[in-house]
Structure 1
């Protein structure tokens, strides 16, 4: 399943959100959602629940708040992962335009010299060092402005305290006030405080990461993941109840969904020496959507060696995915072609693929995302007027 940029993706959602706050959005809006009244709300709150895809709503009781108020299902972006999708929420642009193509991004900008960066913490793979500050690195890598400047009523970004003022958040939050919170209760106390101001902000982007953490570490259907999601659902319901009559439009969605990946379906690139010999540098992207950069003249050898992985992945020339619009519409980021490499390996079923550099710690993720399965790609949209 690929993103539906024709009216059912988080990109289309953001176009409607921006227009509801009198901002400029070039893309088409949502196809199957009535957004006519969105402009009338005093405050629009977009709450992003990291990792809570449509499949994860099955962890909730049938009468749960999110299940009762889910208006439609949307697709995420490709890769279906936080770094790529959160950048879409903060820029209202698809990955083709903003250019951040996963947790690991190969950066060929001057001074970065092809390093693969974990883009949210802005750290190089394999213990390497940046030749500049994280702020300077992001300034070179990220060319697309945030959505917040010029929105009517001003904007607020509500994030966990440990990332609220990170270089990534501050850069993509330009034009908004960033506020940190501690814990689930702190999230809704911070939202309450915003609404209690003499002039509440016109737009609030709020982010909650806890389900994603437990899903990665213990599995997306684990007891701990289920418990934390049910707590969030109850907290949202309680907040909406006490917010009644305050002219708030609450939109709840997610950046991606999840699947669990069995340990015996984790492939190590080092165990495929014929493939590894073709590579020019580390893998990038995600374990479920892998970008491969080849040494010059190694395309034929790589294609032959891929026979060892035919059971686990579908290889695509990355240029074909770009041509077919899999990264979205719009003028491509000037470095996009370099970032997605020569081939994209779309992992099948519940297979994952990784490499581990000499100075990296090998660790297993129980729950994963980034791929094109329905469970990873489909996210809910709950619409609630309070």
Structure 2
């Protein structure tokens, strides 16, 4: 609406500016005659309108206010106008109010907006540190050289819907696993059946960070003595490889196959046992995912004759899994093998790949030809 009025006002202003130039060619006598004629026409319009108010457009009011206001009030009263001088002055006041309103809208008011990168940094610090309140985040920003008020940090968190620190300090199971991954082993039993219809139990552990798998053994009778000896063998293996000081937790379910003695044995090595909830396999999701991989890549594709054959197959698969198979969580590296450097275009053109079969072709591994 205001834009349309401004366009019309500009048109009438330009039109009357050219009309004023035309008046320069007129003599004083011609101007007086035109003024008398215009005054007479206004008198005729007054007589015809009577008590009715004239219908003026916004651009008409703007032009009349701009032209007539510079004149003195006494001069305005002597002129024969369609409206009273007070009305003209009221139009002018309205124009000035609108002008000031537009200027206040266009002019930046209050404090400048916070830079988007700072807002993202504040939200990042809050998400990565649930126990930090807005004043702790403000202090960290000060150490980074970011000048921002503590109240601004509070406002950013509130606008983003981030709860205060006391409500964000609750540690979820997923947060615990991520924060303690380097210190966590997960253990579980896997069941399978041989061709002789004998049920076998496989005991395996996996390290959360490296994803290295250790198959502790397989047996048809997982007695407490067998499980206890498997745990002792695990601790000796961890000590020989230098991982024992790093491991602080072992996650397992509440299976009755585990004797209470193993918790004491682990405790003497500084490893605390963490039990999963009843019927909550997701609490041991890392090992459960490996069990699914083991079944899909080995057990469901191989006919296991007996316990000896099962141990042979598991040893081969454990070596393949730790030394060759890639993992998304390790950026396509293997637990015991780093990801190689990308080949140059010239090397790719001369690339020759050999295949190595394991377990009679159940598993394929590819290597550069010698």
> For this structure pair, what is the TM-score category when the shorter chain's length is used for normalisation?
under 0.3
> Structure 1 length normalisation: TM-score?
0.22
TM-score where L is the length of structure 2: 0.23
Quick check: which has more Rg, 1 or 2? 2
**Does 1 or 2 have the higher relative contact order (CA < 8 Å, sep 6+)?**
1
Higher strand share: 1
